[in-house]
Structure 1
Amino acid sequence: MTCQSSESTETLESDRDRDRRANANAVESDESTIAVAMKDLKNTGWYWGSLTANEAKEILQDASEGTFLVRDSSQRDYLFTISAMTSAGPTNLRIEYKHGKFKLDSVVLVKPKLKQFTSVVHLVEHYVQLSRASDKAAAAAAAAAAAVAVASNSQPNGTVQLLLTRPVYTATPALQHLCRIAINRQTRRVQELPLPNRLKDYLTDYTYHV
């Protein structure tokens, strides 16, 4: 017969309580991060929600290389997917979420080299900026950083060259939104602009360049 001291029992219960609190805090943090990511995505105009892979393929079928949209992933382990037109045709690039960060899913050797972001829109913005690089030095950097072999569930060898240049909008975006993007490309100091506070609030509600 064995017995356990009350002190040991209290220690075990304390450890369990701490673990439960840590798990609860992690879940709450994830929910908050994902909620903000969803809010930003819905403001973009190029987030298509529960669009299927086949529907995305039809939309992109006659588009130029680099045309893209973001939709909900049809795979349970992923939240979002980028559907894009590549040199090999329409393909789907999964977005991985882990520990409060979003990054492109990738083949094992490339995965550690890919940047992580707290926002899906920031992730897309990063690769759009690299893809749009015009000068040779920037283009070479883009080729090294953005044209990586990322996981693709629609290519025979599992890899595809990433190029994102032009989003497909669900509807014609409002002129105010296009102006907001143009202003964001020119300055990060919105609060210093000679504008009414209401307009400043609108500008800071979406701070991205795409």
Structure 2
Amino acid sequence: MTCHSSESIENERRSEPVSRVVESDQSRIAAAMRDLKKTGWYWGSLTANEAKEILQDASEGTFLVRDSSQRDYLFTISAMTSAGPTNLRIEYKDGKFKLDSVMLVKPKLKQFDSVVHLVEHYVLLSRTTWKGSVGDPLTPPNGTVQLLLTRPVYAVTPSLQHLCRISINKATKRVQELPLPNRLKDYLSDYMYHV
């Protein structure tokens, strides 16, 4: 029979929820990494200067996702704006991903379960904003540059299968109802994003 002091039992109880949170965070981040690696536009440990060089001659709205060079952040979106290449950090907090921003805007920013969901949201938002603009891209009234995410830069050329999967997922949310073999339905369901 083992005897534990009340202090050691209390310490175990306190550390239990923390370990679950850490485990949950690790599994969410691991899932986010798996999804990101499937995209083709995740570049890994690319530096800000290397990203700038890649985007230098790209059109506005072209973007890529890379590892953040700042320790407090996991990922960064590097994108071409009307003022040139820029970087947006992606914050991970309380199991959710969101764009880093100034304190006044931060509470209003939408949060996502994965980085790919976050990027997909802003790509769809940018495409509707871009289509709604006449002539030059819309610029906020205070003179700041509007960020558009419209076209990813691929680190590797995506396979035809992956591009078809994206097209099918754009066309329907009912993949399981399609008259396809189960193996193909599983492949389509493995990456349900539109980007």
TM-score, with structure 1 as normaliser: 0.83
Report whether the alignment pairs 1:119 with 2:104: no
- The alpha-carbon deviation at position 188 of structure 1 amounts to 1.1
* Identical counterparts, % of pairs: 77
**Which AA in structure 1 matches 2:148?**
L
* Within-5 A mapping of 1:4-19: 10=6, 12-19=7-14
In structure 2, the partner of 1:197 is 182
The residue number in structure 2 matching 1:87 is 82
Instruction: Report how far residue 135 of structure 1 moved.
Output: 5.8
Pairing 1:184–2:163 present: no
Equivalent position SS for 1:132? helix
Deviation at 1:172, TM superposition (A): 1.7
Match in the other structure for 1:162: 147
Distance 2:146 2:9 in 1: 50
| 5+ long unaligned stretches in structure 1 | 1-8, 150-158
Deviation, 1:160, is 4.6
State the SS of the aligned residue for 2:169: helix
Amino acid aligned to 1:55: E
CA RMSD of superposed structures (Å): 2.2
User: What do residues 130-186 of structure 1 show as CA deviations (whole Å, max 9, x unaligned)?
Assistant: 0001664x99xxx7xxx7x9xxxxxxxxx7522100000012211110000001011
Structure 2 unpaired stretches of 5+: none
Say yes or no: does 1:53 pair with 2:53: no
4+ residue runs over 6 A deviation: none
Residues 160, 18 of structure 1: CA spacing in aligned structure 2 closer, same or farther, 3 A cutoff? farther
* CA offsets 1:2-22 (integer angstroms, 9 cap, x no match): xxxxxxx62x44432222011
